[in-house]
Chains A and B, each alone.
Chain A
Amino acid sequence: MNAVAATDQRSSDWSLIERVVARDETALAALYDRYSGLLCGILNRILRDAQAAEEILQDVFFQVWRNAAQFDPARGSIAGWLVVAARNRAISRLRRRNPGETEELIENTVVLPFNLESEAAQKEMLGKVRGALQDLSTEQREAVELAYFEGLTHSEIAARTGDPLGTVKTRLRSAVESLKTKLSGPGK
């Protein structure tokens, strides 16, 4: 790893974004190196198609390149935006929605309760998230995964599982409340 790459590795997401705004391709490459594994994991999980996953991965980072100047540190985290954008695009493709519906996501604010800028932080959170999900009941975890990885609504989950809609709603609500407790950041 050369000195520039090492520096990029230590740079914050926002300092990299500032360089991307200045059309520094190495900065975008550094962001890519930092988050492409995470995003590719979720994209593969949703799409089950490596080629489609990489297409969306490229699309998401290219949107960062095009719209870097629109990012505002006061409005959330880059990592959060990347995850939300990648997931929404994948769900749109999976459910054959109009991809244009996800274009305005750049305006969405995503506040991550944890900093994921280092690989170590990501690994630490991986354990925490998996632990939180394991703490859910099987039905809750299934409902959460159907919603998160397949983009199903309450009704669709009910139709898929055969459970009453009210049950699914209660199950999901209790699941997200549990996750909030486990995944809230320090002091929350």
Chain B
Amino acid sequence: MTNGHPYQDADYDLYALGALRGEECAAIESHVASCDECAQKLAQARGRIALLALAVEPVEPSPGAKEALLRQLHATVEGHEGRRAPEPARVRFRAAGWWTAIWAPAAVAFACITIFLVVENRKIAQQIDAMHADVAQLQAQVQDAQSNVALFSAKDTVRVALAPSKDFRGANASVRYNARLGKAFYSDSISTPAPPDKSYQLWLVPADGKPISAGILSPSAGAGSEMFVSVPPGTTAKAFAVTVEPTGGSPQPTGPKILVGGM
């Protein structure tokens, strides 16, 4: 308490112990702030008083306490690294953005192209099917035409003239028929349309069995009717006839005969 050092070691011990009042503490703190020697004395006093902790039996903390501390450190380290090195994160973000900028439109384009190709493929498939059908139809028409040509050129084709009934006197009708080919060509000069609710129906009268419908005639004004007819090949015909039937024809002849021609 001399030579400009107003406090004794015991005062610093009491300060470190916490026994002094606020104003007493403030006075000591003010002094040591400007006196290195007394600051060192205070540091030593803190050390002496700290030793009193050794009077207490040590207590091992629970394992969870250390784990909690380490978790806290990990969280800090991760947060620190996150703050200290944000650039890689941004780089990654940019890289991801760059990749996304390329990938996303490409994926959309790919999806659009895929959908377009699927739709187009279906359209093309439908067109191909239609073309196949057309080809088949054309082939059928060609075959039909060939068979028609064959009908007229074949030596076994026979021509049958059909005689009109009295009501159709003056009308001409004939049938070229080839039993082997199952084809026939009918033509007439009847220009009178069928009565209302009636149709003219051509019949093949086979050698055996019931008459077979060979089609409905469609006479045009002043021109008569022509048509190719297909019948089961090998059918031996006994005669051909035209009857007046209800519109659309009948399974079997029901009306009057207007034209009849025997083989």
Which chain A residues have a beta carbon within 8 Å of chain B's beta carbons? 23, 25, 28-29, 32, 36-42, 44-45, 50, 53-54, 57-58, 61-62, 65-66, 75-77, 79-80, 83-84, 86-87, 91, 108-114, 116, 122, 125-126, 128-130, 133, 144, 147-148, 151-155, 157, 172-173, 176-177, 179-180, 183-184
Q: Which of A36, A116, A172 contacts B14 (CB 8 A)?
A: A172
Majority SS of interface residues in chain A?
A: helix
Given contacts A37-B58, A111-B43, contact A83 B21 (CB under 8 A): no
> In the bound complex, what is the Cα–Cα distance between A65 and B43 (angstroms)?
22
Known: A113-B44, A179-B48. 6 other contacts (CB 8 A): A36-B60, A40-B65, A41-B53, A110-B43, A177-B10, A180-B13
Chain B interface residue count, CB cutoff 8 Å, equals 44
Of chain A, the residue at the smallest CB distance from B16 is: A84
| B55 pairs with A130, CB closer than 8 A | yes
| A176 pairs with B17, CB closer than 8 A | yes
| A125 pairs with B54, CB closer than 8 A | yes
| A42 pairs with B53, CB closer than 8 A | yes
Contacting residues, chain A, for B37 (C-beta < 8 A)? none
Q: Pick from B68-76, B154-162, B186-194 the stretch touching chain A.
A: B68-76
Contacting residues, chain B, for A41 (C-beta < 8 A)? 53, 56-59
Among all A-B residue pairs, the 10 with the closest Cβ atoms: A37-B58, A176-B13, A109-B43, A83-B50, A112-B47, A54-B65, A42-B53, A41-B56, A129-B54, A110-B46
Which chain B residues have a beta carbon within 8 Å of chain A's beta carbons? 9-10, 13-14, 16-21, 39-40, 42-44, 46-62, 64-66, 68-70, 72-74, 76-77, 80
| A173 pairs with B14, CB closer than 8 A | yes
| B18 pairs with A153, CB closer than 8 A | yes
Give me 25 A-to-B residue pairs in the complex whose CB atoms sit less than 8 angstroms apart, sorted by A's number: A25-B73, A25-B77, A29-B70, A38-B53, A44-B59, A54-B61, A54-B64, A58-B72, A61-B69, A77-B47, A86-B53, A91-B18, A109-B46, A111-B40, A114-B51, A126-B55, A133-B52, A144-B52, A152-B18, A153-B20, A153-B21, A172-B19, A176-B13, A180-B10, A184-B48
The count of A-to-B residue pairs whose CB atoms sit within 8 angstroms is 164
Contacting residues, chain B, for A109 (C-beta < 8 A)? 39-40, 42-43, 46
Max chain A C-beta neighbours (<10 A), residue from B54, B61, B68, B69: B54
> In the bound complex, what is the Cα–Cα distance between A42 and B50 (angstroms)?
10
Contacting residues, chain A, for B16 (C-beta < 8 A)? 84
> In the bound complex, what is the Cα–Cα distance between A42 and B43 (angstroms)?
20
Q: Which of B40, B47, B49, B68 contacts A58 (CB 8 A)?
A: B68
Q: How far is the CB of B69 from chain A (nearest CB, A)?
A: 5
